[in-house]
Amino acid sequence: MRALPIDASRLTGDRLPAIRRITTADLTLSLSKGLSDFRRRPTHLVFLAAIYPLAGIAIALAATNANAFPILFPLVAGFALLGPVAALGFYEISRREEQGEHPSWREAFAVFQGPARGAITRVALTLLALFALWLLSAQALFALLAPDVSATSYPRFLNALLSTSAGWTLLVVGHLVGFLFAAVAFSIGALSLPLILDRGYRAGEAMAASVAAVRANPMTMAVWAAIVAALVMLGSLPLLVGLAVVLPVLGHATWHLYRRVMG
């Protein structure tokens, strides 16, 4: 790793950290450390991670009961935009472990009551706004491109999508639009919350630094985004319960990646 010759503070004029260039070796090391952290503290981490899949199951069931099949997949997929906030407790545990502490899950949740809660809330609201915009966009795309596609169950609805040209158009355009939302959410949320916890930065500064890190390491961070997406997808297959393992590992790995990028 090496520091960039141009400080990222040029983006906003605020105090921002120097950004280092990283390689895929840093990603591998971060994942390895994340897995080690999970093995060291599995009880607390699984308890925290259970919140994420349970919330995902709840919104999926709510959509199904309302026969809102068109919005079910965007709802579950877009829920991943809130992943950085869901992993906040893991960042805090990793931070305290580095200092030689052995935090409990109660101490991990204490970040929501600490001095950083204002900046954390602003980042969370930004990601939540992106999530809401994604859902509105998904609904608008369905109404515009495939208004006649309907079914009485999700499997039949999916089959109707795959058997019509309108359905295929919706899938292609929807994935492209979803990719744009995911790219924006990833850029601002990738490292902003660890920076807030570690250095007490304001929300705008932290999000700008996260964007700067992604821009400084486009290929490596793209690989990281692909790894995150693949692992989240893998953990989502059994009704999202696999995220109880995937989320803490990724949360801790993200903390260590933050250390590699921002020192």
* Residue 99 within any structural domain of the chain: yes
Rg (CA), the chain: 19
Q: What is the pLDDT of residues 86-108, one digit of tens each?
A: 888 889 888 888 888 877 777 77
Q: pLDDT band at residue 9, thresholds of 50, 70 and 90?
A: very low
* Residue 169 within any structural domain of the chain: yes
Mean pLDDT over 131-145 rounds to 88
Burial class from Cβ neighbours inside 10 Å (0-12, 13-18, 19+) for residue 23 reads middle
Q: What is the pLDDT of residues 189-224, one digit of tens each?
A: 999 999 999 998 999 999 999 999 999 999 999 999
The Cα–Cα gap between 88 and 258 comes to 13
Q: pLDDT band at residue 6, thresholds of 50, 70 and 90?
A: very low
Q: pLDDT band at residue 31, thresholds of 50, 70 and 90?
A: very high
Whether 143 shows a pLDDT value over 70: the answer reads yes
Q: What is the pLDDT of residues 171-185, one digit of tens each?
A: 899 889 989 999 999
Non-local (6+) Cβ contacts of 94 within 8 A are 37, 251, 252, 255, 256
Q: pLDDT band at residue 147, thresholds of 50, 70 and 90?
A: confident
Q: Angle between the 165-189 and 203-216 helix axes, to the nearest 10 degrees?
A: 110
Q: Is the dihedral of CA 54, 56, 60, 66 positive or negative?
A: positive
| pLDDT of the residue at 26 | 96
* Residue 13 within any structural domain of the chain: no
Neighbouring CB atoms inside 10 A of 178's CB total 19
Burial class from Cβ neighbours inside 10 Å (0-12, 13-18, 19+) for residue 253 reads buried
* Residue 216 within any structural domain of the chain: yes
- The percent of residues in the chain predicted with pLDDT above 70, rounded, is 80
- As given in the structure block, the two tokens for residue 248 are 């803490």
Region of 201 please: left (phi>0), alpha (psi -120 to 50) or beta. Answer: beta
The Cα–Cα gap between 140 and 233 comes to 25
Whether 151 shows a pLDDT value over 80: the answer reads no
| pLDDT of the residue at 157 | 75
- For the ranges 11-25, 86-100, 241-255, the lowest mean pLDDT is seen at 11-25
Mean pLDDT over 56-70 rounds to 60
Question: Domain total for the chain?
Answer: 1
Mean pLDDT over 48-71 rounds to 61
**By residue range, what is the domain housing residue 130?**
25-262
* Residue 4 within any structural domain of the chain: no
* Residue 6 within any structural domain of the chain: no
Q: What is the pLDDT of residues 107-137, one digit of tens each?
A: 777 777 778 889 999 999 999 999 889 888 9
* Residue 19 within any structural domain of the chain: no
Q: pLDDT band at residue 4, thresholds of 50, 70 and 90?
A: very low
**Beta-strand relationship, 2-3 and 20-21:** antiparallel
- For the ranges 19-33, 44-58, 107-121, the lowest mean pLDDT is seen at 44-58
* Residue 18 within any structural domain of the chain: no
pTM value?
0.80
Closest to 73 measured CA to CA, from 3, 149, 1, 127? 149
